[in-house]
């Protein structure tokens, strides 16, 4: 038990360290409220015993100087009236006590769920602070678990359980001390009956619930992963008649998870059943003890009253303590994940409180001797790449799949960092602190643009609150992207809902909305990454025409494509081969050649 005590204290210290300074202050306020409530609980319970004595023998009123003084002061006409008044006063005390208890419980719940919200925000922030390579190496079900499930489980089953452990433990301590002072026999009986049974129950539950906790940690991300895969695979699953595959894979994990939860709930209900049996056993023991040593029926009733009053509050407290202990042990793994998240957050450089000044782009952008390789793919290396985009130019980049085009794009977007060489803006190397200002110059249109499940307006003004959307900029961006006439024909115009991932749009319309999004930001540099690779020839010609019109608006454009026809607007086209620039050409030079490009 000493080892278990040390473990619980260690867990409580870890809980304290996970909380922010503000949350710790609120936790201490909770502790103060808990202590006050504990004294009120014990006082209200103790107040019931004099009433029981009065009911057994009303002559106590005259015999006790304090009760007699109250009897005379308030002018009671009979002892029965005094007893009724005492009963009503006890009732009011319990109403007050329970009202205060409800308020404290509400405050505790608000605190715990507030911590859950803050931890979710913190986890979401830590996700966006991660390096791009870590994002691509992690299954999306894990951040889903860490952002949604872990903060809630920690707050309910660990933090709230720790508060319950503290409050109920202190109440139990006070009540047991009071019972020991009032009648040591009752205290001894409670101790003898409860201690062995509760110890065995705790030992029985502990290992099983720890195993359930670990299963939950492993199975929840798997369940989310299989669910997401099944949802996003709708078309392919229907086409190839593989619905049962996705359903069975998800259901098998979900059934195992739910079996664990069923066992968890059953084990948590076990102490209440056991305590009820022990309470009845205690009452029978008191009756048998009293009959054996005394014929005084009033003493038997008084002993039963003391035991009943103690059991009325002690038994639920013990049950809550046991449930809190096993919850903490079961969901202890949430602390591991939260601590790992906080360690990762602490390694992220803090944001500069004085953001770098906006970057000015007046002459050219150049990649100078840029090299890069992936640690998990040593066979590929981007080797001393050099090329230039002059302001207002449209430049193309072409190459076979695996030649390094996407790596160059990610370096330019600063998701990857060159291992040697540099990116120059008007001759000045980009510094790490320039990332935000640099990205503000760039509009990015990728092969499969992300489309919000919302309106056209929300997608073009991506990330802006509805009240902050600039209607003039929105209209101009839609016109420049060639969407004006199409939107004018829609009954709801820019408020038209376009479905999840643009399910109600054609491929060309999705790409045009992505172009409008880049233009709404008034981006000076536009990067098109295989933006027409999934479009038919006619739609490709329309998108190329839209890009050509943008090049006449003094936009600087980098066009990455695997079709030579897509590169028609380019003044200069670089060929990338095996991670190196193999040459540069005019569009006419490439028209007769065939390139198979891609990522």
Average pLDDT over residues 321-340: 85
- Which ranges in 77-183 belong to alpha helices (H)? 79-129, 132-137, 141-144, 150-153, 160-182
Neighbour order of strands in the sheet with 442-446: 442-446, 525-529, 556-560, 394-399, 572-577, 580-585
pLDDT of res. 1: 42
For residue range 145-200, what is the model confidence (pLDDT) as tens digits? 888 889 998 998 899 888 888 888 887 787 777 777 766 776 776 677 667 766 76
Angle between helices 2-18 and 333-346 (to 10 degrees): 40
Residue 116 CA to residue 254 CA, distance in Å, equals 24
Residue 595 has pLDDT above 60, yes or no: no
Phi, psi (degrees; rounded to nearest 5) at 373: -145, 155
For residue range 211-243, what is the model confidence (pLDDT) as tens digits? 777 777 778 788 888 887 777 776 667 655 777
Residue 53 CA to residue 39 CA, distance in Å, equals 22
pLDDT of res. 299: 62
- Output the CATH code of domain 8-347: 1.20.1560.10
Cα distances (angstroms) measured from residue 560 to each of 32, 183, 265, 372, 490 = 64, 87, 56, 19, 32
Phi, psi (degrees; rounded to nearest 5) at 59: -70, -10
pLDDT of res. 240: 58
Topology of domain 364-597, per CATH? Answer: Rossmann fold (3.40.50)
Q: Is 212 helix (H, G, I), strand (E, B) or coil?
A: helix
pLDDT of res. 36: 84
Phi, psi (degrees; rounded to nearest 5) at 503: -60, -25
Q: Are 515 and 445 in contact (CB under 8 A)?
A: yes
Average pLDDT over residues 336-354: 72
Residue 96 CA to residue 102 CA, distance in Å, equals 10
Tokens of 574: 């670089």
pLDDT of res. 462: 84
User: Within 10 Å of residue 553's Cβ, how many Cβ atoms?
Assistant: 9
Which is nearest to 581 in space by CA: 320, 386, 375?
A: 386
260 — pLDDT class (breaks 50, 70, 90): confident
How is the chain split into domains, by residue range?
Answer: 8-347, 364-597
Top-confidence residue, 250 or 189: 250
Average pLDDT over residues 11-40: 86
303 — pLDDT class (breaks 50, 70, 90): low
Kind and range of the H or E run holding 560: strand 556-560
Angle at 100 (CA atoms; ends 95, 101), nearest 5 degrees: 95
pLDDT of res. 45: 73
Tokens of 428: 């000045």
Residues 6+ apart with CB under 8 A from 352: 433
pLDDT of res. 371: 92
For residue range 264-297, what is the model confidence (pLDDT) as tens digits? 777 766 666 666 676 666 667 666 666 666 666 6
The mean pLDDT value of the chain amounts to 80
- Which ranges in 378-498 belong to alpha helices (H)? 405-412, 435-439, 456-460, 471-480, 484-488
| Share of the chain residues as helix, strand and coil, in percent rounded to the nearest 5 | 65, 10, 20
pLDDT of res. 422: 93
For residue range 354-376, what is the model confidence (pLDDT) as tens digits? 556 788 889 999 999 999 988 87
Which is nearest to 82 in space by CA: 49, 100, 55?
A: 55
For residue range 52-101, what is the model confidence (pLDDT) as tens digits? 777 777 777 777 787 788 878 778 778 788 888 888 888 898 888 888 88
């Amino acid at each position: 038990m000493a080892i278990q005590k040390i473990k619980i204290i260690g867990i409580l210290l870890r809980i304290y360290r996970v909380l922010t300074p503000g949350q710790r202050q609120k936790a201490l306020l909770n502790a103060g409220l808990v202590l006050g409530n504990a004294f009120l609980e014990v006082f209200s319970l103790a107040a019931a015993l004099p009433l029981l004595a009065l009911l057994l023998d009303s002559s106590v009123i005259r015999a006790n100087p304090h009760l007699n003084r109250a009897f005379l002061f308030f002018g009671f006409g009979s002892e029965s009236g005094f007893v009724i008044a005492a009963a009503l006063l006890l009732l009011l005390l319990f109403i007050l006590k329970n009202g205060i208890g409800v308020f404290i419980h509400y405050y505790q719940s608000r605190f715990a769920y507030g911590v859950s919200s803050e931890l979710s925000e913190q986890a979401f922030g830590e996700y966006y602070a991660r390096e791009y390579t870590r994002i691509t190496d992690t299954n999306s079900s894990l951040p889903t678990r860490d952002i949604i499930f872990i903060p809630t489980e920690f707050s309910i089953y660990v933090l709230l359980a720790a508060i319950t452990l503290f409050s109920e433990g202190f109440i139990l301590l006070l009540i047991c001390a009071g019972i020991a002072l009032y009648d040591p026999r009752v205290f001894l009986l409670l101790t003898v009956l409860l201690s062995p049974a509760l110890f065995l129950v705790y030992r029985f539950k502990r290992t099983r619930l720890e195993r359930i906790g670990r299963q939950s940690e492993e199975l929840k991300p798997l369940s989310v992963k299989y669910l997401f895969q099944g949802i996003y695979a709708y078309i392919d699953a229907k086409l190839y008649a593989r619905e049962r595959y996705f359903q069975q894979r998800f259901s098998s994990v979900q059934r195992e998870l739910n079996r664990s939860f069923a066992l968890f709930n059953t084990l948590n209900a076990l102490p209440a059943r056991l305590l009820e049996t022990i309470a009845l056993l205690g009452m029978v023991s008191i009756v048998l003890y009293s009959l054996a040593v005394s014929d005084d029926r009033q003493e038997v009733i008084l002993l039963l009253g003391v035991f009943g009053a103690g059991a009325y509050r002690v038994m639920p407290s013990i049950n809550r303590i046991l449930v809190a202990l096993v919850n903490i042990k079961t969901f202890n793994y949430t602390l591991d994940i939260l601590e790992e998240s906080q360690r990762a957050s602490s390694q992220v450089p803090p944001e500069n409180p004085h953001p770098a000044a906006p970057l000015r782009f007046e002459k050219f952008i150049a990649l100078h001797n840029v090299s890069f390789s992936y640690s998990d793919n040593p066979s590929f290396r981007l080797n001393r790449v050099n090329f230039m985009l002059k302001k207002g130019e449209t430049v193309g980049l072409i190459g076979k799949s695996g030649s390094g085009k996407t790596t160059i794009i990610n370096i330019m977007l600063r998701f990857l960092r060159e291992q040697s060489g540099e990116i120059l803006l008007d001759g000045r190397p980009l510094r790490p602190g320039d990332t935000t200002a640099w990205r503000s110059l760039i509009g990015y249109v990728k092969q499969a643009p992300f489309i919000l499940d919302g309106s056209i307006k929300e997608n073009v003004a991506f990330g802006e609150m509805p009240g902050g959307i600039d209607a003039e900029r929105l209209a101009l961006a839609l016109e420049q992207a060639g969407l004006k006439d199409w939107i004018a024909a829609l009954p709801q115009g820019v408020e038209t809902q376009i479905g999840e991932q643009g399910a109600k749009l054609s491929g060309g319309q999705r790409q045009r909305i992505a172009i409008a999004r880049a233009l709404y930001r008034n981006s000076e540099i536009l990067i098109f990454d295989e933006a027409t690779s999934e479009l038919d020839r006619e739609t490709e010609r329309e998108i190329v025409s839209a890009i050509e019109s943008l090049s006449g608006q003094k936009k600087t454009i980098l066009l990455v494509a695997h079709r030579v026809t897509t590169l028609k607007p380019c003044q200069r086209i670089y060929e990338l081969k095996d991670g190196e620039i193999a040459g540069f050409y005019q569009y006419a030079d490439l028209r007769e050649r065939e390139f198979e490009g891609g990522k």
